[in-house]
Amino acid sequence: QAAAGGGRTALRACGVHNVCRLLTRRAHGFYARDAGVAHRKNLGLLRKIMCQESTKFKNVWTTHSASPIAYERGRIYMDNYQCCITSIAQQPRLIYQKSKCAKSEKIEDALLLECPLGEMLPSPSDYKASLIVLTVQNWLLRLSADSGEVLEKVYLAGSCCKFFRYLSWDTPQEVMIVKSAQNKLPAAARQAGIQQTVLFYLAVFQVLPLSFIGMLEINKKIFGNSVTDVAVSNGILIVMYSMGLVRLYNFKAILEQFMEQPFDLGQEFNWNGQVGVVGKYPFGLPCNIKITDTPPLLFEASSLENAFQIGGYPWHYIITPNKKKHKGVFHICSLKDNAL
């Protein structure tokens, strides 16, 4: 036992550098008791394999594109998602190539959607990976990741909002947020003294099966005049202000408290004098979540350029002090007591 103990001490002192031994230790769960250690060890393994002197690299494929190239889980998307190439094979190969689309069908943003484990889904196509895309004309489409075929389509823009531009996850692979561009009045309207109070619209969807939870507006009257941007992540509404202030609110509580009436996709509705079908053209989605009072504030912090991240266990947040001279400096603080 003493010899074994001494061996372990020596091992800890010098560190384990052999990739095979590191893999074995990972399989035995040596890193399971500390958050983030397994991820760091995995990156360390990758670095050791790639940077060892005996490793040789060769160019197997080259491509060029005038438009941005996107990458999602082993798939390379080019030509505004019209071309899909797998990068998993020894040499990248074409999965599908769609015909060139009109400018009105241009894709603004996309998310890869994968089947949740252990759940019964209504359609066989739901069990295969798909791509959720947002078009310039405010259509939300679910495409087959293998063929590009349109599996579902939802029209977003009703009378309240015309410019949805961004897709993001609230809860990855479970709850999706579709955010509008910031509402700006035309110059003529501003000169006439008309005030713009609604800054953003957020449409909230449950995915697989795709279902509409609700749509809400971010209003100056509720959140203040200096709001510059909003985001939703892990059940938290993050509101950013021009002076570098970041405020956090309970997004789930907002949905529950201010929901006026729930609607399902495909449901006929009569809403504020409008009659239509939810998610169908030209009616789109009703704005059925009306925030009438400022929600309870969970947390606020001041950070340069609204740089703010939160995570870990126990919870911590990362900010940059709100002064230009501190650009590139990061403070990691405890969420419990703000201790640095």
> Number of structural domains, the chain?
1
Domain with 36, as residue range(s), is 19-51
Helix (H) or strand (E) holding 26: helix 19-27
> Please, how many CA atoms are within 13 Å of residue 1, restricted to the half-sphere of its CB?
0
> What single-letter DSSP state applies at residue 47?
H
Measured CA to CA, the distance from residue 143 to residue 14 in angstroms comes to 51
Lowest mean pLDDT among 18-27, 60-69, 141-150, 231-240: 18-27
Q: Is the pLDDT of residue 1 over 90?
A: no
Reported as a pLDDT band with limits 50, 70 and 90, residue 248 is very high
Predicted TM-score of the model (pTM): 0.81
Give Cα separations from 67 to 62, 72, 73, 77, 111 (angstroms).
15, 16, 20, 10, 18
pLDDT > 60? residue 316: yes
25 lies in some domain: yes
pLDDT in tens, 168-209: 999 999 999 999 999 887 767 666 767 778 999 999 999 988
pLDDT at 17: 66
Give the burial class of 71: count Cβ atoms within 10 A of its Cβ; 0-12 exposed, 13-18 middle, 19 or more buried.
Answer: exposed
**Residue 231 pairs with which residues in a beta bridge?**
238
Question: What pLDDT is recorded for position 152?
Answer: 93
Helix/strand/coil percentages in the chain, nearest 5 = 20, 35, 45
Maximum separation of any 2 CA atoms in the chain, in Å:
86
Q: In what order do the strands lie in the sheet with 75-78?
A: 70-72, 75-78, 83-86, 93-97
Question: What per-residue confidence (pLDDT) applies to 271?
Answer: 73
Q: According to the model, what pLDDT value does residue 10 have?
A: 42
Query: Is residue 2 in a domain?
Result: no
Cα four-point dihedral sign 209, 211, 213, 218: positive
Cβ–Cβ < 8 Å for 253, 245: no
Note whether residue 269 is domain-resident. no
Asked whether residue 46 is assigned to any structural domain, the reply reads yes
pLDDT by residue (tens digit) across 263-301? 999 998 887 777 889 999 988 999 999 999 999 999 999
Give yes or no for residue 14 having a pLDDT over 70. Answer: no
Instruction: Say if residue 6's pLDDT is above 70.
Output: no
Helix (H, G, I), strand (E, B) or coil at 336: coil
pLDDT at site 158: 64
Secondary structure string (H, E, C) spanning 99-137: CCCCHHHCEEEEEEECCCCCCCCCCHHHHCCEEEEEECC
In a domain, 224, yes or no: no
Per-residue pLDDT tens over the stretch 194-247: 777 899 999 999 998 899 999 999 999 999 999 999 999 989 999 999 999 999
Q: How many whole angstroms separate alpha carbon 316 and alpha carbon 333?
A: 6
Is 60 exceeded by the pLDDT of residue 7?
no
| pLDDT band of 129, cuts 50, 70, 90 | confident
3-state secondary structure of 263: coil
Residue 118 has pLDDT above 60, yes or no: yes
The count of residues in the chain is 340
Residue 36 lies in a domain: yes
Q: Which amino acid type is present at position 168?
A: S
Residue 231 lies in a domain: no
In a domain, 82, yes or no: no
| Pairwise CA distance, residues 233 & 171, whole Å | 7
Averaged pLDDT, 88-103: 87
Share above pLDDT 90 across residues of the chain, in percent, rounded to a whole number? 50
Lowest mean per-residue pLDDT among 122-126, 127-131, 264-268, 321-325: 122-126
Mean pLDDT, the chain, whole residue set: 86
Q: How many angstroms separate the CA atoms of 241 and 229, rounded?
A: 7
